[in-house]
Structure 1
Amino acid sequence: MGRLPLCFVANRGQFDPAVRFSVHGSSKNVFFTPTGVTFALRDRGQTGRAWAARMGFVDAATDAEVAVVQPGRAVFSYFKGRPDEWKSGVATARQIVYRRLWPGIDLVYSGAESRLKYEFRVAPGADPARIRLRYEGITGLEVAVSGALRVRTPVETFEDAAPVAWQVIDGERIEVPVRFALESGGVSGSRGFSFRVAGYDRNHALIVDPAVLVYCGYIGGSAEDRGYGIDVDAAGNAYVAGWTRSTELTFPAVVGPFVAHSGGADAFVAKVDPTGLELLYCGFIGGSGDDEAYDVCVDASGAAYVTGGATSDEKSFPVKGPLSPKKTGIGYDAFVAKVAPSGTALVYCGYIGGGLDDYGFGIDVDSSGQAHVAGWAYSSPAAGFPVKTGPFTSFGGLSDAFVAKIDSAGTAFVYCGYIGGSSYDYCTGIKIDASGAAVVTGYAASSHATFPVKGGPDLTANGGYDSFVARVPVSGAGLTTCGFIGGAGGDHAFDIDLDASGAIYVTGYTDSTESTFPVKVGPDTTFNGGSADAFVVKLTPSGTALVYCGYVGGVGADRGRGIGVDASGRAVITGETESPDFPTTRGPDSTFNGYTDGFVTMVDKDGAS
């Protein structure tokens, strides 16, 4: 996502009043004010040190208009705090301009792919010598042999590429000699620069273009950002959910070191167009604590449903509607939120939890618009967990998986209950079948003596954690089927999907070898070593028998995290690998790049390869 084109977010009260626009990027935020541009930088190393540098306009108009030249399609929404505090539908721009910053001279900022670009547009008769700028909060400013302007700070060094200049006369572009010129003097940490332009026709407009400046990522900002869930609508738009600790709202009042952020994590949901090249919306959901999204799904109307965990209470978290509007405990509560198709409004948002830690980790929506959430709970009914109907209303042990179904209006639970035994049990993925039943997966440490096994595929626990697959009927009362998939080691299922026939596909990771893991057909029936191999499993539509089950991996640690199945019945899994011998075939990159790489693997429909 970091390669999406950058955009300029307008200030509608979510930033310091001095800011007109901002750009958020990887390890940096950029704020545009009438008198200059502030770069809020962060060391991406372990220190996370924050530093502010500013490029000010010298002898320029202090009331220059900062306006949109080219509007962007994306909108940003900040669902934080009470509804009257939300900032929704905030417009963006692809290009902005400082008009008449100096007499007859405009300064234009835009994006060149994911880089920030600026240029000066000099009207006929105007003097480019008036263009003077000064950096503050820097440790050095120099012109490199290449002609680039190198800006040094304690956190990061960045460059303005060597400038170019031109005029268009009688339809022909005429190149004009130009270079950076450093100014002498100035207080410590401050130095100015300008441009030396020679041999141009003052009767025609002049463009002075320092090319690209700094790289700015896109979904994310200057701190820790993680994407956890993704879904795609019928038009091919992608919806991404995760959480961010970035400093979107922090504008440093002074140059030099600064305290970047005093809050916790915020959940986010973003929509990206089918080309993957343009952000359509991005919304932040959070309060004063740590609020994290772990999964997202989209319905036929384009509404997005998000789940995760939140520590923010109802005083700062954007609860809306009567569904559990108050937080029960002091730790994490699961939450569920519905975002309108425009991305500019929350339809509803509420908690699922009790007095201990509870997390929503998977979400899907049925054809009636009823959201189904899966996760795990440490809270018993006595601790306030909102059980209703089932699957089971009694808390089994140390932690239980849970499944909850919310009505289409987001006003009440249709059902909410546990799946678990006497030990630690977790639900990590959910899909709704054609009948409206919820098919879930996860992993369980509880043995078959207390875990509610029924039907298969394996009714006997195998040691350590076993993966499991279960089907919850439409009513939510009890289970239709439930069984283990595992061996003598640790087996952790992380995601699930269904094909058109109702067959069930699961991925995760295991350290169980083929002597105990239920390998069948493939794609690889031999454990490859390391601390874990990814696995992929296909089950019959009933969920009671394996069609195929095998490993995907190499000599390092390999973990399956997500799975989808195409119209031909081919499973596509994604995850991470530490194996230099990971079984690659074709693109996008068949070379191991060191430490941990992401992977995408397609398994043919019979599971053999």
Structure 2
Amino acid sequence: MKASVFGTLLLVSQLSIAQDWAFIPNMGQWDLPVLAETAGSGAKLYLEANALTWQFEDRSDIHRVKEGEIALKDAVYRSHVYRMHFQGADPSAQITPVDHSMQKTYYNFFHGNDHSRWKGGVHGYGEMKYTGLYPGIDLRVYSSGGNFKYDLEISAGADPGIIRLEYDGADSLYLFQDELHISTTLAHIVEHKPVAWQIIKEKKVSVSCNYILDDNILSFHFPEGYDPLYPIIIDPSTLIFGSYSGSTSDNWGYSATYDSEGNLYGAGIVFGTGYPTVTGSFQTTYAGGEGGSFACDVSISKFTADGTDLVYSTYLGGSKNELPHSLAVDSSGQLIVYGTTGSDDFPMGEDAYDNSFGGGDNATVTYVVQFSEGTDIYLTKFTADGTDIIGSTYLGGNENDGMNLGDIAFNYGDHARGEVVTNTAGDVYVASCTYSSNFPVSPGAAIPALQGGQDGIVAHFNADLSSLVWSTYLGGSIDDGAYSIRLAPDGTFIVGGSTNSNDFPVTAGGLNNSFQGGSMDGFLVRLNATGTSILEGTYIGTDSYDQTFIVEVDEENNVYCTGQTSGSYPVTAGVYSNPGSSQYISKLEPDLSALVFSTVFGSGSATVNISPTAMLVDQCESVYVAGWGGTVNSGWNPATGSVSGMPVTADAFSTTTTGSDFYFIVFKKDLTDLLYATFYGSPVANDHVDGGTSRFDKKGVIYEAVCAGCGGLDDFPTTPDAWSTTNNSTNCNLGVIKYEFIYLGPSSGFSVSPDEGCAPLNASFTNSSLAATSYFWDFGDGTTSEESDPDHVYTEPGTYTIMLIALDPESCIPEDTVYQTVEVYGYPEALFDMTVDPFSPIAYNFTDQSVDAATWFWTFGDGSSSTTQNTFHIYEEPGVYTVCLFIENANGCPDTICQELTIDAVSQLVVPNAFSPNGDGYNDIFLPFNFSLIGFELKIWNRWGELVFESNDPNIGWDGTYKGIDQEMDTYVYTVGGLGEDGQDYFFKGNITLVR
């Protein structure tokens, strides 16, 4: 049984491109004049203060070299740059990202050893804006449908005639059918006929607009004019790139790993020539690389566990070239990278064990990646979010370190062998190689001195890479390389690799204590916990070619290894095998004295099929191996072959192959049978990896890095919701695979909907467990279920932890458990009080007295409403009204309360408490009001009891005079009397203040 979790492409051009372009602002990580940078559709774009600079590149010949189509000496690299200069523009115009266009993915830049240039958490944006490019004119740059676009925004009254776009570096520039054509050696660009419009009285009005080209200067003309009182937008529409060959997104895959949450990390190298200083076309041969044709940095990307999103992408490197060899993640989620560098300014930690570059001899790997001053090992540990470096250090002497350059490099990518691992404390262990006689070793090292040409090395660092705990050489008199390392349960270290030394330090009791012959052998050694002693050691191999690439250790300290052979490798009784094949698996006793079992697998040919990238022995002692083979490997070394003819099972992901694919295989415990085998790859492209380790996690999930889609092909198998399902590059891209093999036993998993809400919450559980025969649910509230997909009602508020156990009693691990939480919220209590306004009997105050309310909505029964917590309302006529308060708490749980309010027609007198008869037309007359008094009588007395006003007309009030004389500012007594509609006499009395 198996499950394809995801496959995706990392489309890297200055780190990443998916569909729309990411404009990455320069926060100090790049030199000026670059203010922002983006890439896509086969081009790079640099945003400058008064220009847009385009760069196109053609690296297709390197693909042809890797495929064996042309010789390296015949390969050519081409590039073409042109610039659109804003002639006469304000060089101080502000260029800022548009906030609402910020993308989720962020980028981390670790260039060189100047910490001020390290920038983490730099988000890409979908849109940038030049404000004040010309007086009253802004420029907006963005992408749409994967294509670059720009708009010129002209304010009312501004002059579009001052816009002049000067093109520099194009081979030809011409107008045809109202479109601008820009020809270069690598691309033909078309800017469509410009579209212009104005918004006039809230309507979009089209404005006729066309280009004027005077030599190499472009401007805009409005043949039918425009309204200068309104702004204008000029949109030259989409730039289409076509008929070019080349890529700015060449990104080769090397290494992959995982963390405890199932996130996938992929690493490769990304080629970038840096900011172009000249325009026009140029070319160089592939003989170089640093600072030119194939200058590269390490690119690292973290994907979510389901592959649907890219968490971050990170550059890592100095001014020269770097490679990643191996990745590991510690228990705190911190990524560790091991690789090689040719830079003397590689990013170093503040307390680095060694911050000086040792260098060595000139070396070139994978045809084109050059290290003119040699290589050192680097080790770097990132923070969990990738935005900063916890520690980083060089490791090496004054000759080449870390790069497997000896005669034991057999496969394409073997130059980047070696491995990094970590323990629960976060300490870092690395297995690698060196040519340096002054490589740093610790006192009492198992082998304190260089023994020959290239030796293996093993080193132990503390968690922040500030201290070398111990280090030792590991080799004989010729060439040796330590490729793989594991921490054994007993505290020792198992190291595997390859050697052609007949004096490699094996021990007398080992399985093979002498060199077995042929061009090289594999080896296994067990080091003590301090690196001071080789406890056991043995050669692995035959009298022909043999290598050991990956080692594993089980819980009983037994040692497993896999590698290649072209000899008669021993096959023990009772195991599955493909006789005559060239890949082997062996299990040895903990003391390396004897084989427990051994087999060969493959196509039955002595020509190797795959170069191994990962191995696992799971808790059930099933054995997993991953690798790749095909044209890229055989083009490098004709002694290698393809994956054709290797065994596959009926339930394989793919039972057919082009011969150049990845290959995954799983064996039962003790290798007694084949559980699963499949090809994985593109139907056309020659999938491979350019070096480095990938990994299985302990659950049997492979996290594999791929150099995919080379030659600009778009056929790497991806899942529908993967972060990127298309290859927007015209050459290679880092592809990553997460593929699950369910052979440990049940794999428990579920989703719940909804996972939060108000009580009572009706939760539906969807079981996604694999390989289970029964289930047990605990809902966290004292109830359980054995259904596959139950529903459950939570009646009380609280946080509930749901446990699902998936069971299969027949499996070696009979159960798997997973937990999730559901949050059930309580309800608020709606309460309010209402009181009549003492001075306005038809006006009421409504006071909220609710418990746990966060929002309020009042309805007053007359069609009116309010959303304030406490409110006030005036009714226009008497009647019976239902007043309701609707509330929700912060979790969205509602409650409602309603009360009836009766406003009596005659009992309510509307009267102000003051008036100001100053002739301004406001509040000049004192006139109480009642809905329905009959026989209205109003009287007003001053403080001496003198009647100063009297009226029997309900429409005539007091103007503040008596006998034509303005009365003093004072308080007066009023009475209102009359007969109500109910036949009763009503009388009202009160005070009124006259204000002057």
Give yes or no for TM over 0.5.
Answer: yes
- Equivalent residue letter for 2:578: T
- Give the direction of change, closer, same or farther, for the CA distance of 1:399–1:106 in structure 2 (3 Å limit): closer
d(CA) in 1 for partners of 2:547, 2:530: 28
1:177–1:197 CA contact under 8 A, matched in 2? no
Q: 2:609 matched to 1:558?
A: yes
The aligned residue for residue 76 of structure 1 is 108
- Equivalent residue letter for 1:68: P
- Equivalent residue letter for 2:334: A
Find 2:52's aligned residue among 37, 42, 46. 37
- Equivalent residue letter for 2:587: L
Find 1:47's aligned residue among 53, 76, 86. 76
d(CA) in 1 for partners of 2:339, 2:552: 19
- Secondary structure of 2:610's partner? strand
2:24–2:125 CA contact under 8 A, matched in 1? no
1:334–1:352 CA contact under 8 A, matched in 2? yes
Larger radius of gyration: 2
2:29–2:119 CA contact under 8 A, matched in 1? no
- Give the direction of change, closer, same or farther, for the CA distance of 1:580–1:322 in structure 2 (3 Å limit): closer
1:456–1:545 CA contact under 8 A, matched in 2? no
The aligned residue for residue 802 of structure 2 is none
Q: 2:52 matched to 1:19?
A: no
d(CA) in 2 for partners of 1:228, 1:214: 30
- Give the direction of change, closer, same or farther, for the CA distance of 1:536–1:155 in structure 2 (3 Å limit): farther
The aligned residue for residue 370 of structure 2 is none
Coordinate RMSD, CA, aligned: 4.7
Find 1:2's aligned residue among 7, 11, 17. 11
d(CA) in 1 for partners of 2:434, 2:655: 40
d(CA) in 1 for partners of 2:29, 2:282: 22
The aligned residue for residue 545 of structure 1 is 595
Q: 2:135 matched to 1:107?
A: no
- Give the direction of change, closer, same or farther, for the CA distance of 1:395–1:34 in structure 2 (3 Å limit): closer
d(CA) in 1 for partners of 2:157, 2:552: 64
1:419–1:452 CA contact under 8 A, matched in 2? no
The aligned residue for residue 337 of structure 1 is 380
The aligned residue for residue 438 of structure 1 is 493
Identity of aligned residues (%): 21
TM-score, structure 1 length as denominator?
0.78
2:441–2:448 CA contact under 8 A, matched in 1? no
- Give the direction of change, closer, same or farther, for the CA distance of 1:52–1:303 in structure 2 (3 Å limit): same
The aligned residue for residue 423 of structure 2 is 366
The aligned residue for residue 354 of structure 1 is 397
Find 2:316's aligned residue among 284, 308, 311. 284
- Give the direction of change, closer, same or farther, for the CA distance of 1:473–1:21 in structure 2 (3 Å limit): same
- Secondary structure of 2:77's partner? coil
Deviates more, 1:330-339 or 1:257-266: 257-266
The aligned residue for residue 578 of structure 2 is 525
- Equivalent residue letter for 1:379: S
CA apart distance, 1:402: 1.0
d(CA) in 2 for partners of 1:196, 1:562: 63
The aligned residue for residue 218 of structure 1 is none
The aligned residue for residue 136 of structure 1 is 168
Q: 2:272 matched to 1:246?
A: yes
d(CA) in 1 for partners of 2:603, 2:175: 49
d(CA) in 2 for partners of 1:599, 1:523: 21
Find 2:123's aligned residue among 81, 92, 95. 92
The aligned residue for residue 404 of structure 1 is 459
CA apart distance, 1:305: 1.6
2:569–2:584 CA contact under 8 A, matched in 1? no
CA apart distance, 1:366: 0.7
Q: 2:267 matched to 1:235?
A: no
Q: 2:630 matched to 1:577?
A: yes
Find 1:378's aligned residue among 409, 429, 435. 435
1:27–1:41 CA contact under 8 A, matched in 2? yes
Q: 2:517 matched to 1:491?
A: no
- Equivalent residue letter for 1:49: R
Structure 2 unaligned runs (5+)?
1-9, 62-74, 361-373, 404-417, 632-641, 678-996
CA apart distance, 1:77: 1.8
- Give the direction of change, closer, same or farther, for the CA distance of 1:51–1:345 in structure 2 (3 Å limit): same
- Equivalent residue letter for 1:392: I
- Secondary structure of 2:126's partner? strand
CA apart distance, 1:164: 9.7
- Give the direction of change, closer, same or farther, for the CA distance of 1:91–1:329 in structure 2 (3 Å limit): closer
- Secondary structure of 1:349's partner? strand
Task: Render the CA deviation track for 1:558-604: whole Å, top value 9, x for unaligned.
Answer: 332411436763514132323373546778776656xx834142324
1:279-318 to structure 2, matched below 5 A, reads 279-286=311-318, 288-313=319-344, 318=348
Task: Render the CA deviation track for 1:74-115: whole Å, top value 9, x for unaligned.
Answer: 1222241343x4322161323122256686775331475xx4
TM-score, structure 2 length as denominator?
0.50
- Give the direction of change, closer, same or farther, for the CA distance of 1:210–1:425 in structure 2 (3 Å limit): same
Deviates more, 1:476-485 or 1:501-510: 501-510
The aligned residue for residue 664 of structure 2 is 601
- Give the direction of change, closer, same or farther, for the CA distance of 1:509–1:397 in structure 2 (3 Å limit): same
- Equivalent residue letter for 1:107: R
Structure 1 unaligned runs (5+)?
216-220
- Give the direction of change, closer, same or farther, for the CA distance of 1:323–1:495 in structure 2 (3 Å limit): same
d(CA) in 2 for partners of 1:401, 1:136: 53
d(CA) in 1 for partners of 2:664, 2:272: 31
1:142–1:151 CA contact under 8 A, matched in 2? yes
Task: Render the CA deviation track for 1:525-571: whole Å, top value 9, x for unaligned.
Answer: 2446xxxx5x2525257365354432335888633241143676351
Q: 2:325 matched to 1:325?
A: no
- Give the direction of change, closer, same or farther, for the CA distance of 1:78–1:328 in structure 2 (3 Å limit): closer
d(CA) in 2 for partners of 1:152, 1:343: 41
- Equivalent residue letter for 1:539: K
- Give the direction of change, closer, same or farther, for the CA distance of 1:476–1:316 in structure 2 (3 Å limit): closer
- Equivalent residue letter for 2:24: V
- Secondary structure of 1:37's partner? strand
- Give the direction of change, closer, same or farther, for the CA distance of 1:184–1:276 in structure 2 (3 Å limit): same
- Give the direction of change, closer, same or farther, for the CA distance of 1:164–1:591 in structure 2 (3 Å limit): farther
- Equivalent residue letter for 1:375: S
d(CA) in 1 for partners of 2:269, 2:358: 22
- Counting matched residue pairs gives 580
d(CA) in 2 for partners of 1:148, 1:519: 74
d(CA) in 2 for partners of 1:373, 1:570: 24
- Give the direction of change, closer, same or farther, for the CA distance of 1:138–1:191 in structure 2 (3 Å limit): farther
- Give the direction of change, closer, same or farther, for the CA distance of 1:119–1:468 in structure 2 (3 Å limit): same
2:142–2:148 CA contact under 8 A, matched in 1? yes
